[in-house]
């Protein structure tokens, strides 16, 4: 697991955090009086809602794997996924670590890969549908507010739509597509024969795992419905959580503005290659909501939202990784004895 976490990514996240704190202190966007005046009841609700994202993902994993994984192991898996997704560009490291962790719990690679594919597939489809709904009802409104910057939202939505269409198109791929892909690979002039064979084996393995996941969906409609509901809960928690942070600062915002605004922000950050979509997430939040929140509070609200939605995941995930490493070392020592 540790080799996936590159030092530069961790250093980058720490630097962004420090710069954010410095910028807010320098411009007096955060001070002692703000903490004194916070309504901690609403802030606590926001914290609990942020854990709702975790609970929904844990239940998704458990729903698919059933007896193959315990709730405890599901929690470990999601925590590691959150950590490595947060510290790698394009959130690319989480799935690899999750598959490795599931395999250590005697879940086959094919089944673990299929499980994560199902979770990602349904999440992406629902994310895109919510994006379409938000654009349909609020695009013209936010276009007036954001002006030419609205194209960031359009670009993010287009990217997510392409991904969703690609995932849906995979349902119609023939089981014999491996042969077709091998024919394509054979024609690649700069690849040596041994690499072509290795690439073909990987593609065949992917297609096999893909069809395994498709069969899971086809054979158990209850799981699909459950995953759809849990993904809706997950996204609702992600989108509603800033509302209680805003209330904790004795401000208010209409949910008809906040929810589509958060959906747009989610689409914007999806194409930012930096770990945790850093800088883009913070800037996007300010960009979208600067007209609806007081300037003296918006940076503090953004900071608290980022702490609960990102840095808290890093903290919990890091503690879980340390716990797993220490547990594994203890088991090795006991085995040697």
Digit-by-digit pLDDT tens for the chain (337 residues) are 555 555 666 776 777 778 777 777 776 777 777 888 899 999 999 999 999 999 999 999 999 888 889 999 999 999 999 988 888 776 777 888 899 889 888 888 778 888 888 898 899 999 999 999 998 888 788 888 888 778 888 888 888 888 888 877 766 655 555 565 556 656 666 666 666 666 666 667 767 766 766 676 667 888 889 999 999 999 999 999 999 999 999 899 999 999 999 999 998 887 787 777 777 888 899 999 988 988 888 999 999 999 999 999 998 988 898 888 888 776 655 545 5
Instruction: Quote the pLDDT of residue 210.
Output: 66
C-beta separation of 324 from 97 below 8 A: no
Tell me the C-alpha distance between 43 and 253, whole Å: 15
Instruction: State the Cα–Cα distance between residues 130 and 118, nearest whole angstrom.
Output: 18
Burial class (CB in 10 A: 0-12, 13-18, 19+), 119: buried
Phi, psi of 70 (to 5 degrees): -85, 165
Measured N-to-C along each axis, helices 255-269 and 280-289 cross at an angle, to the nearest 10 degrees, of: 150
Tokens of 224: 């699909």
Of 237, 203, 120, 202, nearest to 167 (Cα)? 120
Distances (CA, A) of 21 to 14, 17, 48, 77, 280: 11, 6, 24, 30, 16
Q: At what angle do helices 40-65 and 71-86 cross, to 10 degrees?
A: 110
Count of other CB atoms within 10 angstroms of residue 19: 13
Q: Which of 280, 242, 237 is nearest to 261 (CA)?
A: 242
* pLDDT for position 185: 59
Task: Name the phi and psi angles at 232, rounded to 5.
Answer: -65, -40
What is residue 102's predicted lDDT score, i.e. its pLDDT?
92
| 213, 118 Cβ separation under 8 angstroms | yes
Confidence at residue 277, expressed as pLDDT on a 0 to 100 scale = 79
pLDDT at 267: 86
What CA–CA distance (Å, rounded) separates 123 from 116?
A: 10
Residue 110: predicted pLDDT: 76
């Amino acid at each position: 697991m540790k080799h996936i976490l590159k030092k530069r990514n961790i250093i980058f996240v720490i630097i962004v955090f420090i710069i954010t704190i410095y910028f807010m202190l320098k411009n007096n966007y955060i001070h002692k009086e703000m903490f004194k005046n916070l309504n901690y009841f609403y802030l606590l609700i926001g914290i609990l809602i942020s854990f709702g994202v975790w609970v929904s993902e844990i239940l998704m994993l458990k729903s698919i794997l059933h007896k193959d994984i315990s709730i405890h192991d599901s929690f470990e898996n999601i925590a590691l996924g959150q950590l490595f997704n947060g510290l790698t560009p394009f959130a690319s490291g989480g799935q690899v670590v999750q598959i490795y962790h599931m395999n250590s719990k005697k879940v086959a690679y094919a089944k673990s890969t299929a499980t994560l594919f199902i979770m990602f597939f349904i999440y992406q489809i629902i994310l895109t549908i919510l994006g379409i709904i938000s654009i349909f009802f609020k695009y013209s409104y936010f276009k007036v507010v954001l002006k030419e910057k609205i194209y960031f939202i359009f670009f993010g939505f287009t990217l997510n739509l392409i991904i969703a269409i690609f995932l849906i198109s995979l349902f119609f791929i023939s089981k014999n597509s491996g042969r077709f892909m091998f024919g394509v690979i054979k024609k690649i002039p700069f690849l040596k024969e041994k690499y072509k064979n290795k690439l073909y084996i990987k593609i065949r393995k992917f297609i096999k795992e893909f069809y395994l996941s498709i069969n899971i969906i086809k054979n158990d409609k209850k799981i699909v419905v459950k995953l759809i509901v849990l993904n809706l809960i997950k996204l609702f928690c992600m989108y509603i959580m800033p509302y209680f942070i805003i209330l904790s600062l004795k401000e208010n915002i209409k949910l008809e503005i906040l929810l589509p605004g958060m959906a747009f922000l989610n689409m914007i950050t999806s194409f930012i290659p930096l770990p945790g979509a850093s800088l883009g997430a913070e800037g996007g939040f300010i960009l979208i909501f600067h007209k609806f929140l007081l300037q003296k509070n918006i940076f503090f609200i953004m900071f608290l939202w980022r702490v609960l939605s990102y840095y808290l995941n890093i903290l919990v995930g890091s503690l879980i990784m340390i716990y797993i490493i220490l547990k594994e070392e203890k088991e090795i020592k006991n085995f040697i004895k």
